Amino acid sequence: MASGVPELGGSKVWSTLITKTTYLSGLLTLDYSLKKAGSKYPLLVLYTDSFPAEGHNALDSRKIAKRRVPYLLPTTSKDYTNDARFNDCWTKLTSFSLTEYDRVVQLDSDMLVLQNMDELMDIPLDAPSKNGTGDRVFAASHACLCNPLNKPHYPRDWVPANCAFSTQHDNPDIAQTVQPPATAGLGELNSGLLVINPSQGIYHKILEQLASPAASEYDFPDQSLLGDVFKGQWVALPYIYNALKTLRWKGVHDTIWRDDNVKNVHYILSPKPWDELADGQDHDHDPSHAWWKSLNAERLAEEQQSGLADGF
């Protein structure tokens, strides 16, 4: 489907994936937050064939660039009945194939940018020609392994003692600017934010792994694959770039969390902030949701003033 949006210029972009309109309000507010934070770089929306016409219209009316990508699935997959959204996550890996760009920073659409983080476009990574053989293949923040909701289907070794963030509790000031090494804890990453130098060689390794039996054992699709194939070969970023909302919870990693330092909040788990708006009831699931709701309301007010009111 033609977008009606001019081709992106420049060699560096933010990217995000969407497959259905469920996350569209999140994506639009993410785009708004990037612009409000003064980013020099545009957002490129990666969409699959399942994304409907009303979603395309919403992107086109806001002049948000987009690109169709194939829907990725492994040859054999784990049953993600407990987290059905995980089935879409493999497709985020298509960002590694966008070789027309020198740098892609992939963002989940349930994120909110609070401060400019354009510096991620310039952090050193391996040249694409290394094809994933170096020790700086991509950059990401660690996953939190604390499982604060005690989800029974999470790995048994996901406990605070094995969490990289736990190693920073004795020096929370350092945690604002320095992350433990990629191998800290169990060496697990969170793929909500990935800093990528696209490479067909890296993408080929990813596709090979998707076709292997190992892919059927991954608990967390794309991030488990990346952590397995490129174990210890990625650059760890401070939590502030992928500030999982659960880190802020009392007794999880509130020791290191600083509201004023966070650049990008990640609204993992359900409900999402826009889900709470949709049912028309008051909620207090998480205080950080108010940040999203406030910026979303600002976006909607601006759009309505310009005559745009499509319900997203």
What is the domain-level CATH number for residue 256?
3.90.550.10
pLDDT at 281 over 80: no
Dig out the tokens for 123 from the structure.
């952090």
Q: Do the beta carbons of residue 39 and residue 116 sit within 8 Å? A: yes
Q: Which residue has the tokens 């499509």?
A: 310
Going by their DSSP bridges, the two strands 264-266 and 243-244 should be labelled as parallel
Per residue in 58-91, pLDDT (tens digit) is 999 999 999 999 999 999 877 776 666 778 999 9
| 22 within some domain | yes
Residue 309 resides in a domain = no
**Alpha carbons 24 and 137: distance in angstroms, whole number:** 30
The 189-196 sheet, strands edge to edge: 65-68, 43-47, 12-18, 103-107, 189-196, 138-142, 235-237
Return the structure tokens found at 267.
């609204």
Asked if residue 1 is part of any domain, the answer here is no
Q: How many structural domains comprise the chain?
A: 1
Whole-number pLDDT of residue 100: 96
Residue 308 lies in a domain: no
β-strands 138-142, 189-196 pairing: antiparallel
Full domain range(s) for residue 97: 12-302
In a domain, 141, yes or no: yes
Q: What percent of the chain clears pLDDT 70, i.e. is strictly above it?
A: 94
The strand pairing partners of 104, in sequence order, are: 13, 196
DSSP string, 199-255: -HHHHHHHHHHHTSGGGGG-SSHHHHHHHHHTTT-SEEE-GGGSEEGGGGSTTTTTT
Per-residue confidence at 3, pLDDT binned at 50, 70, 90? very low
pLDDT tens digits, 261-278: 999 999 999 999 999 987
Query: Do 29 and 112 meet the contact criterion of CB atoms below 8 Å apart?
Result: yes
Spell out the residues 6+ positions from residue 51 whose beta carbon is closer than 8 angstroms to its own. Answer: 18, 19, 20, 21
In a domain, 63, yes or no: yes
Domain-embedded: residue 7 = no
How far is the C-alpha of 83 from the C-alpha of 274, rounded, in Å?
A: 18
The region that residue 44 occupies, defined by phi over 0 for left and psi between -120 and 50 for alpha, beta otherwise, is beta
The answer to whether residue 232 sits within a structural domain is yes
